[in-house]
Structure 1
Amino acid sequence: MRIFVNEFCGHPFQIQLSRELVIRGHEVEHVYFSGNLSTPKGAVEAANTAHRLNISGLNIKRAFEKHSIRSRRAADIEYGMAVAEAVSRFKPDVVISANMPLDAQKILLKAARKHNAKFIYWLQDVYSMAVRFVLARRQKILANIGGAYYESLEKKLLRQSDSIVCISDSFVDYVKDWGIEEEKIHLIENWSPLDEITPMSKDNPWARENGVAQKFCFMYSGTLGMKHRPELLLCLAKHLDATREAILIVNAAGAGADWLRDQTKDISPEAFRLHPFQPYERLSEVMATADVLIALLDSDAGKFAVPSKTLAYLCAARPILMAAPNVNQAAKVIQAAKAGLLVSPDSPEDFVFAARKFIDNPHERAAYAKQARAYAERNFNIGHIADRFLNLIRHDRCGQTARLFPRDCELD
């Protein structure tokens, strides 16, 4: 089978899925947007060595300004056209699309139809809700108009898709409430590659290079937008600047990282450091440097976003301090795994207090770390995950849905 995977961000776990599909005998074209520098990329070059797997970073002529209302839509449309051209060249049987801006998704879905390819909408974010969230911080009227337009478009694209993969129960509920046929909706939660992020000693090359192998480290690693509440990191940085009992390291890019850089100019590098994204191949070292890993999400953003960084944290076998609404899928996972502490993103005091609790309780940290990796090993088996996607792709032929695993449905 010829499978075309479009994943706008270039995340590692989707690349891992493409590799596994190739191992099963399928031919896979995997594309992502190389011009989006605000999200970390997976092991693209290493993955591209496999036979029958081609991974391409697609770019556009115009500069990509993620947060510019004026130019963002035009850039999204241009990327959609680039992906549509790639579909025309590859002529797939199936198109799987994730993290795709809706204006681009519309173009891609049309291209899939033109080539009689099955279209699977991998719903990683409720995009129209994200648009409302971002625009509401600028102008309420604009948020209402833009949100209504993109909600209408999102519903239309979901209805036109052959199948929808939701990554959380709450996303399933949203899609059902929009009147989408229930038989098209499938739940497959996100994961992180177990073999790419492995537990390591804190005293490792990255830690020594940065002079923190012997210091207690809090760490945030990944995209940092304003929906991630960077002000909580500022509060912790100020606390550590006063106490000098630990250091906060942030490896990030995005609007939140830019804001944090401006706000921390007077804080000592002994208490806070801001780095760009670190090389993916060194991520195990980077995360092992942390005594505690941090995940953040705004109360309102918890409705439409599920931060995948928390899944990588689980693989790294480190305790997690998460500030997020408890209804968020990532927060539920941390609680189910018993991998750390969850606090409200609306309480800086509770966030700093929880951080202090981690410093004072090494035995609890060790227990959380062990439970984090154990959860990942139980739930992130790529073979089982690929089975579910292949069942989904073939459910029409087998007369089953992705929730079922019929023994007589061959999954080669």
Structure 2
Amino acid sequence: MRILVHDYAGHPFQAELSRALAARGHEVIHAYFAGDKGPKGRLERLPDDPEELSFAALGEALDYSKSNFIKRRQGDLAYGKLLADLIRSSRPDVVLSGNTPTETQQAVPAACRSVGAAFVYWIQDFYSIAADKLLRKRLPLLGHGVGAYYKYLDAAQMRGAEHVIIITDAFSPQLDKWGIRPDRVSVIPNWGALKELPVRPKDNAWSQEQGVSDTLVCLYTGTLAMKHDPTLLEQVAANTDAEVVVVAAGVGVEHLEAVKSAQPDAYENLTLLPLQPFKRFADVLGSADIMLAVIEEEAGEFSVPSKVLSYLCSGRPIVLSAPAGNLAARIVRETGAGLVCDAGDGAGFVEAVRTLINDPDAREAAGRAGRAYAEEHFDLDRIADRFESVLQQACQERAASPGGG
């Protein structure tokens, strides 16, 4: 097959999937939003990559803002046009697209139809539902209408797709409400890039450079955006003696920078660093004694923090603030990979961190449990088998449809 994999964010495990599919002889174009400032995987050709793999960095020059709604919408629409142009010029057999703003994704089905390509919608987060909840909170009148419009678009895109991939059965009731046929839905959980994230010693090149190789570190890494609560990290720094290292990008970082600037003495143990190249990511994770993850109630029902999947690979214990029904929360709780508290529970979050600070044996046991889960569930060959099967089925569906293939 000629496959276009589009991952808006450019995360590590999606790039790993593209490499696996290309290694099976498929021609794979991996496209992503180069203007997004979030964490990125290996998004360039490596010496041992198959010839069938290429990367398309889109929208690097776009004037994009995540804090200004008008500029953000304009950027989403402009990026959608770039993505549609790529589909029309590359003429793939099938497009797998996910992790994408609703109005950006709106350009994909029409572009697919214009070249006879099948469209597979990869739902890692109900973007429209999360946006609806956040907009209603911030813009009570206008937000209601905008959120309803986004949900309408999302549902229409999914109904028009040859296949829909969801990352958890918890998403199924919403698809039922939107009239998505169950026979066109597959559940494939997200995973961490296990092979690229070996367990690293705490004393490594990166931790030495940062001066934390012999210091107890609580680490947060990844996006710190609107659906995360930076005040929880602030509270850990204010109420423990641990070094709180935040390697991140997003509006939450700006909040922490302001806090640290206003009270430098009170937050001497808070270190803020930019996102690091993926080739150093394993050492960044290895520098930690405790991993921190947070997600707000409004976004948490339909969002699974991908950083938690990378944390599981690291062999380090996790403290997660998230809604109880969140998939990542269930994984951490049920495997014993760390401690979970309710979203927004600052006191509970700090207490969970203190518990692990004071119990090295519990930290070690939780880290082992997380890595064991990753090794059992993040088998790339099995995962690629399932995606390959879905993509082939989608191509067959498209070819059999009126005007198809």
> TM-score range, shorter-chain basis?
over 0.9
1:407 aligned residue: none
Deviates more, 1:96-105 or 1:14-23: 96-105
2:320 aligned residue: 322
1:367 aligned residue: 365
Answering whether residue 292 of structure 2 is matched by residue 294 of structure 1, we say: yes
Q: 1:263 offset after TM fit, Å?
A: 1.7
CA distance in 1, matches of 2:293, 2:301: 16
RMSD: 1.6
Deviates more, 1:99-108 or 1:263-272: 263-272
1:222 aligned residue: 222
Q: 1:159 offset after TM fit, Å?
A: 0.4
CA distance in 1, matches of 2:254, 2:80: 28
* Aligned partners of 1:238 and 1:267 also within 8 Å: no
* Aligned partners of 1:7 and 1:31 also within 8 Å: yes
Equivalent residue pairs, number:
394
* Cα deviation code 1:266-298 (max 9, x no counterpart): 144641111110111111111111000011111
Question: 1:304-319, aligned counterparts within 5 Å?
Answer: 304-319=302-317
CA distance in 2, matches of 1:340, 1:213: 22
In structure 2, the residue corresponding to 1:21 is in which secondary structure?
A: helix
In structure 1, the residue corresponding to 2:305 is in which secondary structure?
A: coil
1:344 aligned residue: 342
With structure 1 as the length reference, what TM-score do the two structures score? 0.92
**Shift in CA distance, 257/273, structure 1 to aligned 2, threshold 3 Å:** same
Structure with larger RCO (C-alpha < 8 A, sep 6+): 2
Q: 1:314 offset after TM fit, Å?
A: 0.5
Q: 1:67 offset after TM fit, Å?
A: 2.3
Runs of 4+ in 1 over 6 A off after TM superposition: 396-399
1:6 aligned residue: 6
CA distance in 2, matches of 1:47, 1:7: 19
2:244 aligned residue: 248
Deviates more, 1:214-223 or 1:43-52: 43-52
CA distance in 1, matches of 2:64, 2:298: 26
**Shift in CA distance, 216/60, structure 1 to aligned 2, threshold 3 Å:** closer
CA distance in 2, matches of 1:166, 1:346: 26
CA distance in 2, matches of 1:61, 1:271: 36
Identity of aligned residues (%): 38
CA distance in 2, matches of 1:287, 1:30: 26
CA distance in 2, matches of 1:94, 1:226: 32
Deviates more, 1:208-217 or 1:266-275: 266-275
Answering whether residue 387 of structure 2 is matched by residue 389 of structure 1, we say: yes
* Aligned partners of 1:60 and 1:82 also within 8 Å: no
1:79 aligned residue: 79
CA distance in 2, matches of 1:135, 1:218: 32
Gaps of 5+ in 2: 398-405
Gaps of 5+ in 1: 400-412
Deviates more, 1:327-336 or 1:111-120: 327-336
CA distance in 2, matches of 1:55, 1:293: 31
**Shift in CA distance, 288/95, structure 1 to aligned 2, threshold 3 Å:** same
**Shift in CA distance, 321/126, structure 1 to aligned 2, threshold 3 Å:** same
Q: 1:47 offset after TM fit, Å?
A: 4.6
1:202 aligned residue: 202
* Aligned partners of 1:315 and 1:372 also within 8 Å: yes
CA distance in 2, matches of 1:62, 1:92: 25
2:254 aligned residue: 258
Q: 1:46 offset after TM fit, Å?
A: 4.5
